[in-house]
Structure 1
Amino acid sequence: MLEVYVPATSANIGPGYDCLGLCLDLFNKFTFEEIEEGLEFGECEEAFANEDNLVYKTMLYFYDKVKPKKIPKGIKISFENNIPICRGLGSSSTCIVAGLMAANVLSEANLSKDEILKLAIELEGHPDNVAPAIYGNMIIAFMEDGNLYHEKIKVPDGIRFLAMVPNFELSTEKARAVLPKQIPHKDGVFNVSRCALLIAAFTNNNLDLVKVACKDKFHQDYRSHLINNYDDIVAYANTLDSLGTFLSGAGPTIMTLAKDSDKEILDKMNDYLSTLEDDWQILDLHCDAEGAYCKQV
């Protein structure tokens, strides 16, 4: 039996649209057991217990692309979901990464992490969730002419990531549909400068720069109206001693960074969110430096 643990991720990180992502210490657990034939599900929501299951389809994609000599005749898959679905925390990416890593182990294909990441990008379309899920830490990654380029950015110690998760979903397709086909040149310059500053701020542990570096002109302004009270929440978070606030992935989760030493911000944000119409929960998370891993049991 094989267990695969895949972490939540937060993509875009403000100005790093489709190229910058962060690994978080909240994991989905996937269990794979070879059976004589066919497909079975153990613990799994009924809606996902079928051949359209993303984990299973990803495994088939791996076998079709890699064509390993050994392919299991049957598989039983179980899920332990801890990451909110359709909330901008990479839940679908965990399925893709888990399917690829499980297929890699069970088929004894022995692909490298880079090779697995390339397959994940083919399925996901962009690397900002799957790259940090595989490698841990914060990752800058992109593809060019079929070549993969990526590098880790070490997140300084002592930072907590407060993921404010609402009780409503927002599909990635809907969130992408509101984005413009073109952006003004000045907005491109705006994002390039903030993204460079954000990476420098983390690299040099200059956290005073993070708040202004989280600003964005590529996607947050266009998606904010899809999320109830988005502007109010961001404005309130920025009145506290937060290090910065940004939309996690395509949303609707809103992420606020704070120092571990700040003992009051969590209670203050919870109190404020309780006054809003929708129900919000806060996940108190930290950056995970290792990423996804497998364990034979």
Structure 2
Amino acid sequence: MKILVPATSANLGPGFDCLGLSLGLFNEIEIYKSNVSSLSVSGEGSDNIHLKKNNIFIQIFNEIYQKLSGQKNHFRFIFKNNIPLSRGLGSSSATIVGAIVGAYAMSGFKIEKEKILNEALNYETHPDNIAPAILGGFVCSIVEENKVYSIKKDIDENLRAIIVIPDAIMNTEQSREALPANLSLSDCVFNLSHSSFLTACFLEKKYELLALASKDKLHQMQRMKNLPELFEVQKFALENKALMSTLSGSGSSFFSLVYKENVNFFIQKMTQKFSNFRIECLEFDNKGFEIC
């Protein structure tokens, strides 16, 4: 079997741990029954020995497969990683989702997205990345009593994601340590109102209001201080026809939303200004993971 799992961009400014969307960039995983266990990795992280010695995908897959099937079998895993690692594009969530989907499928169980989503919550405690990786599109999620509730909206075909990817990585755990331990009431209200307004903008397709809606006072500034050039990336993007521009997840990548008709102009401007950064134009994914 072959599984495709999309990259994701989470938080989207004020929607800390609850908002995310799915990008048209996919990790590909092939799984075969075998006489011996083996794996191969190509693409992102192929030179990382830890991905082979301590592969999280295989650990999760084996744990769930044995729980579902009651068996211990050997498999060959072939990973083609297209999602950059530790860049805020949901590579960890793609690993978790792919492993769970693979275990369910190889055990002969029906693939139900709600079940996969709640299973994934055991490995990723907030749903901002796992929900769009499973459902596709723009997704707003909450967690109540260890269950995820999500509302999904397909993203228009005339929109594109421009991802600015620095060479520097940002570790999610270390990035969270930079966040303030206490927040003022006014900052909490600011983020609650902007997150709600941003969700309404996507649901009602009021894209012209996203630059306003995507402002944040909770996490972006603290995280961006680790790579100060990101402040200029955001400012320059908004000055050059980006509908919104936000830190992707915990970073270091930056996500900008643009109309399809403005893509060439935007990329030209960004490439000239930030020639040392990798810049990718991606369509959006409205399906979530797929089994081929």
TM-score by length of 2: 0.94
**Gap change, CA 1:61 and 1:182, over 3 Å in 2:** farther
- Map of 1:265 onto structure 2: 266
CA distance in 1, matches of 2:157, 2:143: 29
How far, CA to CA, are the matches of 1:242 and 1:138 in structure 2? 17
CA distance in 1, matches of 2:59, 2:6: 20
In structure 2, what is the Cα distance between the partners aligned to 1:28 and 1:226?
28
> CA shift at 1:145, angstroms?
1.3
What's the offset of the Cα at 1:147?
2.6
Aligned-partner Cα distance in 2 for 1:138–1:268: 27
| 1:92-107 equivalences in 2 (<5 Å) | 92-107=92-107
Task: Name the aligned partner's letter for residue 289 of structure 1.
Answer: N
Query: Percent of counterpart pairs with the same letter?
Result: 32
Separation in 2 of the partners of 1:82 and 1:255?
Answer: 17
Aligned to 2:278: 281
Which residue of 2 is the match for residue 10 of structure 1? 9
CA apart distance, 1:105: 0.5
* Corresponding residue for residue 239 of structure 2: 239
Q: Counterpart in 2 of 1:28?
A: 27
CA contact (8 A) 2:41 2:81 kept: no
| Whole-Å separation in 2 of the counterparts to 1:42 and 1:127 | 29
**Equivalent residue, structure 2, for 1:163:** 163
Q: Which has the higher mean CA deviation after the structures are superposed, 196-205 or 23-32? A: 196-205
- 3-state SS of 1:201 partner: helix
CA drift of 1:224 comes to 1.2
Q: How many residues align?
A: 287
Deviation at 1:286, TM superposition (A): 2.0
1:217 and 1:61 map into 2 onto residues whose CA distance is 39
Q: Cα gap change, 1:85/1:69 in structure 2, threshold over 3 Å: closer, same or farther?
A: closer
Aligned 1:198-277 pairs, distance under 5 A: 198-262=198-262, 263-274=264-275
Q: What amino acid maps onto 1:223 in structure 2?
A: R
Q: How far apart are the structure 1 equivalents of 2:83 and 2:252?
A: 14
1: CA distance, partners of 2:122 / 2:53: 20
Matched, 1:291 2:288: yes
Whether the 8 Å CA contact 1:72–1:107 is kept in 2: the answer is: no
* Distance in structure 2 (CA, Å) of the matches to 1:35 and 1:225: 48
> 2: CA distance between counterparts of 1:13 and 1:125?
18
State the Cα distance separating 1:63 from its structure 2 match.
Answer: 3.3
Letter in 2 for 1:23: S
Q: Report the secondary structure of 1:76's partner residue.
A: strand
Look up the SS of the partner of 1:284 in the other structure.
strand
Q: Which amino acid in 2 is paired with 1:59?
A: F
Kept after mapping to 2: 8 A contact 1:89/1:249: yes
- What CA distance in whole angstroms lies between the structure 1 residues aligned with 2:256 and 2:287? 22
The within-5 A match list for 1:91-170 is 91-170=91-170
Output the CA distance in 2 between the equivalents of 1:124 and 1:51: 21
Q: Is contact 2:12–2:246 with CA below 8 Å preserved after alignment?
A: yes
TM-score, L = length of structure 1 = 0.92
How far apart in 2 are the matches of 1:207 and 1:51? 45
Q: Give the secondary-structure state (helix, strand or coil) at the position aligned to 2:287.
A: coil
